[in-house]
Amino acid sequence: MPSLPLGSVGVSSRGRMLRPIVLITMLVAATLPSLAERSEPAVAAPSVFDFGLPTPGPLGPITLIGDSVLLGHGAYSPTLPDQLAARGWGPIRFRGGVAISAGNEPVQNELRASYWIELWRSQGWDAPVVMVNIGANDSGFCQRNIACAREAIMHVVDTIGPGKRIWWPMITRLQRSPFLEQQNNWNAALVQIANERDDFWTWDWPAEFVTGQYPSPDGVHLSPSGYRQRSILIADQLTADVAVSRRVAGSVDLPSASGPPSTFVPVDPARVLDTRNEPPGRRPDRSTLRVDLAPYLPESISAETVTAVAVQVTAADPGRNGYLRAHDCAVGGPNGSSVNYTTGQSRGAMALASVSDSEVCVYVHTETDVVVDLQGVFVEGASGAQLRPAAPQRVADTRQSGRADVVRIATPTDATAVAVTLTATGADRRGNLRAYPCDGSAPTVSNTNFGPGESVASAAFVPTGGTDEICVAASSPVDVVVDLTGTFVDAASDGLAFVSAPSTRTVDTRDSTFGWAPVHGATQTIDARVAPSNVAAVSGTLTMVRPSARGFTTVFDCGNRPNTSSINAPAGVAMANSLTTAVSNDGRLCFFTNRLTQTVFDTTGWWVST
């Protein structure tokens, strides 16, 4: 990691390392008429803030360079560097000054952004991320010439050099002609460059500015409260756009198998426990609930042959944020999660869990009622069905076809059940989705719970029945998206048997011991070994933790990324979903997300040829 150039430094009362402040007063600008005529209005002295925050952060070093608009972000505490440090950036190099421009025009060195970038590099400071906040002056140089604007912007980009991530907000100028036209010309050039490069981001500050939440004396600079609010917004947006994960460790040790290869027997969805109206009642914090499944097994199945179960576990009306974990009662202590929930929001997800003596345990992190629905069981031998995994395929999307109370989906004719991801999106009120074979009736148990405006995905194993169709019923109007991820076929076919394993965390971008850290960057793909190299598919729980905005994550076998989603989550919320999908030849999965988030994956088993 590069160190901050020290030079002659002092330490401020807030512990910052400071370079001597260069007092460039407006008298300097007065000696340069062509610049003074077109530059932004004067700000109060001092006209330069130049300092650094030396503390390293998990997101790494960042440079901030800009004109008097940026200057205000260093003048009022908490400053923009303070806000960035709070989000994990560091060390930080900050320089904001009156009349700073790109540097391709003939002005003195101290007023050229490119000069400072080159100087710092010669001193050993060359951060991989650079925020540039200039343009009020250069847009005046360029007037309405977009080629001139591009030349100025690219002068700075080329000075920063390849291999860097550059974040450059759009500008505002005096909201009247010709200044407004100069602003729009400059911003159009920023948009052009952002569309052409994958290492350059711009941000529509004018759209935010016109909301009226940022008091400004001149349409360019802000009041102290405006600067403080903009610092928060910039820190959030910049981090969401450019923070990325880095490989910091190797793969984690994989668990040992809990039992022999097993085949799947789907069952009619059955509610086996609901503490809202059954003993033992609402569950307290950090408690474990034992659930006996023996009374709900098909008569043809001996309890002694059951190795694992597919269950839907739901937190109903939780008192606080938390999670549930379904696990083998013989394996003590929570390791991973099956479903995450927020206060007052019922949330469920499917889980595959090994069992002992036909019992599954549910660990309750924070107080909630618990609902458990049985979807199927895994048994030793070949009496059940085997999985034929498939690249995720979108088989229904009512956003295109139109909403319906019941969505019918054709399935392969040799399938006894299908593995699907059900997504509900665009509802006006709370509701649920229920998946079932179309020759049966809609069950009373649900697969997906959703709230107004949410996009929520849940996995399910659904029997196909005698009509080779599954139906998805919605309890309230909502768009339904269904992705097919695999089919279950007769064990005599070319399918795969399931090998259950203790839930083991194999990916967690929050923790550097799991390979990638400190975040999962927007539009970034990371990979991890989640299963042994001799298997064809894996099952587990995928969790998207507090994304920066509503988004999705797609998991795939590291080949071509499918146009589907494995999980959806709103901003700032943790959401989990069960996942069964093919892996690469060496047991790896790839994880793509469209938003800055934290990504967690818990392996619960894998699928092998027998």
**349 shares a domain with 203:** no
For range 428-441, the mean pLDDT? 94
**424 shares a domain with 368:** no
pLDDT at site 41: 41
Please give the Cα distance from 483 to 565 (Å, whole number).
Answer: 8
Please give the Cα distance from 337 to 324 (Å, whole number).
Answer: 6
pLDDT bin (cut points 50, 70, 90) of residue 174 is confident
Please give the Cα distance from 367 to 320 (Å, whole number).
Answer: 7
Identify which of 539, 529, 541, 538 has the alpha carbon closest to the alpha carbon of residue 599.
541
pLDDT at site 144: 85
Total domain count, the chain: 4
pLDDT at site 236: 97
pLDDT at site 580: 93
3-state SS track over 260-281:
CCEEEEEEEEEEEEECCCCCCC
pLDDT at site 334: 60
pLDDT bin (cut points 50, 70, 90) of residue 36 is very low
Burial class (CB in 10 A: 0-12, 13-18, 19+), 414: middle
For residues 102 and 17, the model is more confident at: 102
pLDDT at site 331: 83
**Is the confidence at residue 56, as pLDDT, over 70?**
yes
3-state SS track over 459-506:
EEEEECHHHCEEEEEECCCCEEEEEEEEEEEECCCCCEEEEEEEEEEE
For range 201-228, the mean pLDDT? 94
For the chain, what percentages of helix, strand and coil (3-state, to nearest 5) are there? 20, 40, 40
pLDDT at site 3: 33
pLDDT digits (tens, 9 = 90+) for 315-358: 999 999 999 999 999 887 667 899 999 999 999 999 999 998 88
From 323, 348, 380, give the residue that closes a domain. 380
**598 shares a domain with 515:** yes
CATH number at residue 65: 3.40.50.1110
pLDDT bin (cut points 50, 70, 90) of residue 298 is confident
Q: Report the DSSP beta bridge partners of residue 497.
A: 608
**427 shares a domain with 517:** no
Any domain includes 339: yes
CATH number at residue 547: 2.60.120
DSSP 3-state of 189: helix
Please give the Cα distance from 187 to 149 (Å, whole number).
Answer: 9
Any domain includes 289: yes
pLDDT bin (cut points 50, 70, 90) of residue 29 is very low
Residues 6+ apart with CB under 8 A from 272: 291, 293, 295, 296, 311, 372, 373, 374
In the block, tokens 């099956």 appear at: 338
Please give the Cα distance from 81 to 235 (Å, whole number).
Answer: 8
For residues 77 and 175, the model is more confident at: 77
- The answer, yes or no, to whether the previous bond of 298 is cis (omega within 30 of 0) is no
**Is the confidence at residue 20, as pLDDT, over 70?**
no
**324 shares a domain with 225:** no
For range 88-94, the mean pLDDT? 98
pLDDT bin (cut points 50, 70, 90) of residue 34 is very low
Any domain includes 3: no
pLDDT at site 172: 96
Positive or negative: CA dihedral 113, 116, 121, 127: negative
pLDDT bin (cut points 50, 70, 90) of residue 6 is very low
**Is the confidence at residue 259, as pLDDT, over 90?**
no
Positive or negative: CA dihedral 44, 45, 46, 47: positive
For range 569-593, the mean pLDDT? 94
pLDDT at site 356: 87
User: Pairing state of beta strands 165-169 and 129-133?
Assistant: parallel
**233 shares a domain with 117:** yes
Residues 6+ apart with CB under 8 A from 567: 457, 542, 543, 544, 552, 553, 575, 576, 577, 579
**357 shares a domain with 211:** no
Any domain includes 4: no
User: Pairing state of beta strands 165-169 and 200-203?
Assistant: parallel
**389 shares a domain with 316:** no
Please give the Cα distance from 18 to 54 (Å, whole number).
Answer: 10
Please give the Cα distance from 499 to 407 (Å, whole number).
Answer: 33
**452 shares a domain with 353:** no
**149 shares a domain with 55:** yes
Q: E strands within 54-109?
A: 60-66, 89-97
From 428, 462, 490, give the residue that closes a domain. 490
pTM of the model as a whole: 0.86
Q: E strands within 345-401?
A: 347-354, 359-364, 369-380, 385-397
DSSP assignment letter at 191: H
DSSP H helices in 369-408: 398-401
pLDDT digits (tens, 9 = 90+) for 382-421: 889 999 988 889 999 999 999 999 999 999 999 999 999 9
**394 shares a domain with 365:** no
Phi-psi region of 558 (alpha: psi -120 to 50; beta: other; left: phi over 0): left
From 209, 243, 277, give the residue that closes a domain. 243
pLDDT at site 287: 95
Strand order in the sheet with 551-556: 525-529, 588-593, 551-556, 567-569
In the block, tokens 């949330």 appear at: 347
439 phi/psi in degrees, rounded to 5: -85, 5
Please give the Cα distance from 179 to 190 (Å, whole number).
Answer: 17
pLDDT at site 411: 95
Any domain includes 81: yes
Any domain includes 414: yes
293 phi/psi in degrees, rounded to 5: -100, -10
Any domain includes 254: no
**234 shares a domain with 138:** yes
pLDDT digits (tens, 9 = 90+) for 514-533: 999 999 999 999 999 999 99
Greatest alpha-carbon span in the chain: 94
In the block, tokens 């047991």 appear at: 587
DSSP assignment letter at 217: S
Domain that holds residue 555: 501-610
**Percent with pLDDT over 70 in the chain:** 92
Positive or negative: CA dihedral 389, 560, 199, 161: positive
CATH number at residue 427: 2.60.120.260
Any domain includes 301: yes
**Is the confidence at residue 1, as pLDDT, over 70?**
no
Identify which of 491, 482, 399, 371 has the alpha carbon closest to the alpha carbon of residue 435.
482
119 touches 65 (CB < 8 A): no
pLDDT at site 79: 96
